Amino acid sequence: MIDFRRRVKELCAERGITQKELAHKMGITDISLNKTLRGQYPQLQSLENIANALGVEISDLFVVTPPEQVATSMVLSCPHCGKPLAIGLQAVSAEPDNGADHVSDGMMTE
Can you give the CATH number for the domain in which 12 is found?
Answer: 1.10.260.40
Q: For Cα atoms 102, 107, 110, give the angle at the middle one, nearest 5 degrees.
A: 40
Residue 57 neighbours by CB under 8 Å, 6+ apart: 51
Domain count, the chain: 1
Residue 42: inside a domain: yes
Residue 12 has pLDDT above 80, yes or no: yes
Going by their DSSP bridges, the two strands 102-104 and 76-77 should be labelled as: unpaired
- Full domain range(s) for residue 56: 4-67
Contact criterion met (CB below 8 Å) for 11 and 64: no
Residue 48: inside a domain: yes
Residue 77: inside a domain: no
Q: In the chain, pLDDT over 70 holds for what percent of residues?
A: 55
Residue 23: inside a domain: yes
Read off the pTM: 0.56
Residue 80: inside a domain: no
Bigger pLDDT: 62 or 87? Answer: 62
